Amino acid sequence: MNSILFAKILIDWWHKNKRDLPWKHTKDPYKIWVSEIILQQTRVDQGTPYYHRFIKRFPDVFVLAKASEDDVLKVWEGLGYYTRARNLHSTAKQIVKDNDGLFPENYEDIIKLKGIGPYSAAAISSFAFEGSHAVVDGNVTRMVTRILGIYDAVELPETKKSIQSYVSSAIQTVRPSSFNQALLDFGSQTCTPKDPGCAYCPFNLYCKAYHQNVVKILPIKRKKQPRKIRYFHYLDLSSVNQIILHQRSKNDIWKNLFELPMIETDSPTIENPESLLKHIDIILNDNNTTLVSCHKIYESTQLLTHQKINGYFYSISIAKISKKINPSHYLVERKKVSNFAFPKIITEYFRHLKKTDELLF
């Protein structure tokens, strides 16, 4: 199927089936940029309320640039992949400093910005400035491999190049913003991973996968690497209505987010109880900690792209917490924990506590 016919059929379909999304009613590159970063690892239905919340709190690049990172992470809380939020913040400051707040207009300059790859650069340049670079994501890859009957693994450079070349040729014949949005809408609404609408698909006369009865087989993907399994033992150190928090700082998952003090082990259990007490002594800057009680009260898991986090939560009551705790930790009132940005596994723990003991919050 030649690319010109592909573009024509796709645009005709889109005019009748386009999605009404909030960021499609603007040409403001800032708002389009925010929406594209949110949608990098997030479904539209999940990302939409975050988009509204983010734009309300940071309506333009100047407000975002002036904000603290903690504030940005708090607004982003629960969305995951927090590097996206940090990159947004860093790039906003760069745009204000180096370009007086003006977002770059061409693809070559947009892709140089932190946190923006070929897909995001193509989307932003086309939606905001009608740049003619075609977007290629999982949806686009799926529909093109099916229509053209591509049996090579989609991770291969040659396969990616072939798909990119095809849609890049097609976009030259139509309005770029309409074409790119049509690509994304079609892949999410019709040419879906499971149970695609082949019977009413406008490409079913030309789709090789449909005629060869391999729609459920394509695209071909390599086997995923197994997730790394990690065991986090969280210590809910409390005295009266105070709690100790720790801000992650290492170059690891959830950087700069807050959490409870934590011990990571190679197994689901803490083999040596003495190591637990020693860790508490370090946190409290006290070599003679008096424990009132220690109980495991909650377990949870969080799946990341390449990791599975198993969390075990211990309620540890202490006779007294000195204000001279370890400098990397913070002593805060329990009722104020909502002011901090946490990874999902910690947020779920606090929700569990709220359900079981309303007096703590």
242-247 vs 329-333, strand pairing mode: antiparallel
Helices (H), the chain: 3-17, 29-38, 44-57, 61-66, 69-76, 83-99, 107-110, 118-129, 138-148, 157-171, 176-189, 208-211, 273-284, 344-356
pLDDT (0 to 100) of residue 283? 82
CATH number at residue 39: 1.10.340.30
179 and 237 fall within a common domain: no
314 and 178 fall within a common domain: no
Report if residue 205 sits inside a domain: yes
Contacts of 275 (CB under 8 A, 6+ apart): 263
188 and 246 fall within a common domain: no
Q: Which residues of the chain have pLDDT under 50?
A: 358-361
Q: At what angle do helices 157-171 and 3-17 cross, to 10 degrees?
A: 70
pLDDT (0 to 100) of residue 359? 41
Q: pTM (2 decimals)?
A: 0.79
Report if residue 337 sits inside a domain: yes
Cβ contact 328:250 at 8 Å: no
236 and 355 fall within a common domain: yes
Report if residue 257 sits inside a domain: yes
Cβ contact 267:230 at 8 Å: no
Q: What burial letters (b/e) apply to 157-186, b meaning 16+ CB within 10 Å?
A: eebeeebbebbeebbeebebbbbbbbbbbb
DSSP, residue by residue, 159-199: HHHHHHHHHHHHHTTS-HHHHHHHHHHHHHHTS-SSS--GG
pLDDT (0 to 100) of residue 238? 73
**Number of separate domains in the chain:** 2
pLDDT (0 to 100) of residue 273? 64
Which domain does 105 fall in, by range?
3-211
CATH number at residue 353: 3.90.79.10
DSSP, residue by residue, 217-241: TPSP-PPPPPPEEEEEEEEEEEETT
Report if residue 89 sits inside a domain: yes
190 and 245 fall within a common domain: no
243 and 328 fall within a common domain: yes
Report if residue 217 sits inside a domain: no
pLDDT (0 to 100) of residue 334? 85
Burial of 294 (0-12, 13-18, 19+ CB in 10 A): middle
Cβ contact 347:77 at 8 Å: yes
Cβ contact 206:166 at 8 Å: no
Report if residue 49 sits inside a domain: yes
Report if residue 293 sits inside a domain: yes
254 and 172 fall within a common domain: no
30 and 153 fall within a common domain: yes
The phi and psi torsions of 297 (rounded to 5 degrees) equal: -120, -10
Report if residue 223 sits inside a domain: no
Contacts of 81 (CB under 8 A, 6+ apart): 40, 41, 42
123 and 160 fall within a common domain: yes
172 and 246 fall within a common domain: no
pLDDT (0 to 100) of residue 109? 95
The phi and psi torsions of 239 (rounded to 5 degrees) equal: -145, 120
168 and 246 fall within a common domain: no
Active-site residue, 69 included:
no
The residue out of 165, 185, 211 marking a domain boundary is 211
151 and 254 fall within a common domain: no
pLDDT (0 to 100) of residue 292? 63
Amino acid residing at 81: Y
